[in-house]
Structure 1
Amino acid sequence: MEISLIIQSIIIISILIAIGAFFSKTFSYNEHTRKMFISLIVNVAMPCIILSSIFQVDLNRETFKLIAFVFLISIFINLLGIGLGWGLANIFKKNSKKKRELAILSGLGNTGFIGIPLCAALIGPKGALFAAIFDAGVDFTIWTVGVFILQKKGSFTFQTLKAMVNIPTAAIVVGIVVAFFNIKPPHLLIQVTEQLAGMAAPLAMFYIGVLIMTLKRAKVRESSQQVWIPILVKLIIMPLVVALLIHIFSVEKEITQTLLIQSMMPSLTLATILFSKYSADEELGTVTTVLSTIISLSTIPIMFYFIN
C-alpha cells in the first residue's frame, strides 16, 4: 500500500475533524446532540458501509473462511491489547483506581468510526468488509470481556447478551446471509446504501472534532498522568505486534492490510458511553479517545512507513 495514500487519507481526516471542531461553536452540544451523532453513525452510516461492501464483493466458501479468521484474530488482538494495558497499569500505576478503564482503552480501538471508512478508502470493498468483520470482533469483546471487567460484581447477564445485538452486527449477519444464498438486492437498494455509506467518515470525524472542543484543560492535565499507557499500547505496541504476527502467519494481502490498519486505530470512541453506563470514569474515556485520535494522525503514517 502506498504511503502517499495513507498520508492523503490522514490529511482528509484531519480536515474533517477541524471542520467539526470549528462548527461545534454554532450549536449546543448536549446529551441530545451526542445521541443524534452516535445514532446516525452507528445505526445508519455504519450498517450501510457494511451492506454496501458485501453487495460489491463476491462471497464464496474461501471468503467465508477468511471472514471467520478475521473475526477470531480480531478477538485475539483485542484481548492481547487489554492484557498489555492491564499489565502496564499494574506495573506503573499500582495505586490507580482506573486500571480497568486503562486496560479497555489499550485493547479496544476505533475500528468502526475511523477504521471501516479508512479501509474502504484505501483497500476497497473487500477491505471494508474485512474491516467490518474486525469491528464485529471488537463489539463482541466490548460486550463480553469489556463489560465483565467494568462490572464490579463481575457477572455476565442477559442484559450483556442483549447489548451485543445491535444494528451494525445485524447488518453483517443479514449481508452474509444474503450473499450466502446469492440473493441479488434491487439496484435502488444498492444505490441507497452506497449514498448513506458515504456519511460515515464525515459524521464520525465531525463528532470527534466536537468532542475535542468539549475537553477541559484541567481534566486533560489530570488524565495525562495515565493516558500514556493506552496511547502507547494502542498506537505503537499493538501495530508492531500485529505486524510480527502477520509476518509469521502469511495471509491474504487484503487481510494483511486490514489487520494493520485496524491495529493502528486510536482508542474506542464509544468508551465514554460504555464507561458512563457502568459508572466508570467517562471523562478519562473522552480524554484518551481525543488525544489518541489526534496523535494517531501522526503515528499511522509513521508506523506504516516503519513496518513497510
Structure 2
Amino acid sequence: MVTLLLTEQLTVLFLMMGCGFVLVKTKIVKSRDSKTLSLISVYLIMPCVIINAFQIDYSKEIQDGFLLALFAAVILHLLLFLICGILGKFLNLTSVEKASLIYSNAGNLIIPLVTSVLGSEWVIYSSGFMCVQTLLLWTHAQSIMQGKTEFNWKKILQNVNLIAIVVGIILFFFHIKLPVILSDTINSLASLIGPVSMIMLGMLLTEVDWKALFTSRRIYLMTALKMLVLPLIMVGCMRLLAHHCSLANASTILLISLLATITPSATTITQMAQIYDNHPDYASAINVFTTVVCIVTMPIMVLLYTL
C-alpha cells in the first residue's frame, strides 16, 4: 500500500516538475527565474515546514521516535561515508561524485512525500535526518567541494533550516504552541513545499544538455550506485535496525529515514559546484539523471523494506 501511494505521489511531483518545464519552454518565464523560487523555498517555505512539523502535542513516544530518527540518520551517513570512501579508492571518485553519492535531495522531496504518503503527523521524524544532513552539508560537503578543510562555522550556525530545527525542537520539548494566526500562516506556507520545489526543478531541467547526459557512461555508473547499490545497502541496514528496535512505530520511523536517504542527489551539491567552479555541469547531470530514475527506484526500495 505504501509503495503504491509513493508511486502515485512521485508521479504527481513529476507532473508538477513538468509544469515548470513547460512554463520555460513556452517562454512564459525564464529558467533563471527558478533562482527566485529556490530562495523562497530555502528561506521561507522550508523553515515553515520544519517548525510546523514540531507543532504537535508532546509525548514521550514522539520524543523517543525523533531520537530514533536522529540515531538512524547518523548511522546512515556513517555508512555512506565508509562505502564511498572505499569506492573512491577503486573508482577514483571525484569530489563531485563523492558528494553526489553521499548527500540526497531530502530537503526538497522527503517532506512532501512523507506528508502525502504517511500524513503530516509523521513529518517531525524527517527533521531528524534533515538536521544531521544540514550540518554535514555545510561542513564536510562544502569542504570537499571547495577543496579546503576549513569550515565556515558562521554560515553553519546561520543556516535558516538548522535554526528552524532548533526553534522547532525548543517549541516541542517546552510544549509551546504558537498563536492560531501565526500557526495557520506557517501551516499554509508549509503546504507549498511540494509544488514550489518541483516547479523549480522543472525550470532547471530546460538547461540540461540531454544528448550529453545520455551519452556519458560515467553518469550511468553514478546513477546505479546512488539509486540502486547504496539504497539496497540502506534497506538492509534499516530492516536490521527495525527488527532489533522495540520502540512503537519504529518500522515507519525508519522507513522515513530510508526515504530521505534514497532520494536523488542533493541540488545543494549542484549549487556548491557552481559557487566553487567545480564541474557544475557534471554535478547538474548527476542530479537530473537520479531525479528521472527515482520514480522507479524509490518504490522498489520501499517495497523491499516492507516485505
TM-score by length of 1: 0.88
AA of the residue aligned to 1:54: F
1:20-59 aligned within 5 A: 20-25=20-25, 26-30=28-32, 33-55=33-55, 57-59=56-58
Taking the aligned partners of 2:158 and 2:184, their CA distance within structure 1 comes to 26
User: What's the counterpart of residue 98 of structure 2?
Assistant: 103
Q: Are the equivalent residues in 1 in contact too, given 2:34–2:203 (CA < 8 A)? A: no
Q: Over aligned residue pairs, what C-alpha RMSD do you find?
A: 2.1
Q: Choose 176-185 or 285-294, whichever is displaced more.
A: 176-185
- Tell me the residue number matched to 1:272: 270
**Aligned equivalent of 2:239:** 247
- Unpaired runs of at least 5, structure 2: none
Deviation of the 1:14 alpha carbon: 1.7
TM-fit CA distance, 1:22? 0.8
- Cα offset, 1:300, TM superposition: 1.2
Residue 201 (structure 2) aligned to one of 201, 205, 208: 208
Deviation of 1:82 (Å): 4.1
Conservation of the 8 A alpha-carbon contact between 1:109 and 1:234: no
Equivalent position of 1:131 in the other structure: 126
Amino acid at match of 1:249: L
Aligned 8 A contact 1:113 1:200 in 2: yes
Query: 142, 155, 178: which one pairs with 2:150?
Result: 155
Give yes or no for contact 1:6–1:122 (8 Å, CA) kept in 2. yes
Count of aligned positions: 298
Distance (Å, rounded) in 2 between the aligned partners of 1:68 and 1:229: 35
Structure-2 separation of matches of 1:164 and 1:108: 19
Q: Distance in 1 between matches of 2:148 and 2:234?
A: 33
Mapped to 2, the partners of 1:304 and 1:27 lie a distance apart of 36
1:278, distance to aligned residue in structure 2 (A) = 2.6
Distance 1:229 1:75 in 2: 26
d(CA) in 2 for partners of 1:139, 1:76: 15
Deviation at 1:221, TM superposition (A): 4.7
Judged with a 3 Å threshold, the aligned counterparts in structure 2 of structure 1 residues 163 and 275 are, in CA distance, closer, same or farther, namely farther
Determine which of 252, 255, 258 is the counterpart of 2:256.
258
> Which consecutive unaligned segments of at least 5 residues does structure 1 have?
none
Higher alpha-carbon deviation: 258-267 or 72-81 = 72-81
Deviations 1:181-236 (A, max 9, x none): 212211111211111111100011111111111101354256x3322343223211
Equivalent residues in 2 for 1:96-245 (5 A)? 99-156=94-151, 159-217=152-210, 219-221=212-214, 224-245=216-237
| Cα deviation 1:45-76 (Å, max 9, x = unaligned) | 11111122211x22334533432332243233
Distance 1:153 1:48 in 2: 33
Q: How does 1:8-27 map to 2 (within 5 A)?
A: 8-25=8-25, 26-27=28-29
**Identity rate, percent:** 22
Q: List per-residue Cα deviations over 1:217-264 (Å, max 9, x = no partner).
A: 354256x33223432232112322222222222341331220221122
What's the offset of the Cα at 1:78? 2.7
Q: Secondary structure at the match of 1:154?
A: coil
Give how far 1:160 is off.
Answer: 4.2
CA shift in 2, pair 1:35/1:2, >3 Å? closer
Give the Cα separation in 2 of the matches to 1:101 and 1:82. Answer: 14
Q: Which moved more, 1:224-233 or 1:284-293?
A: 224-233
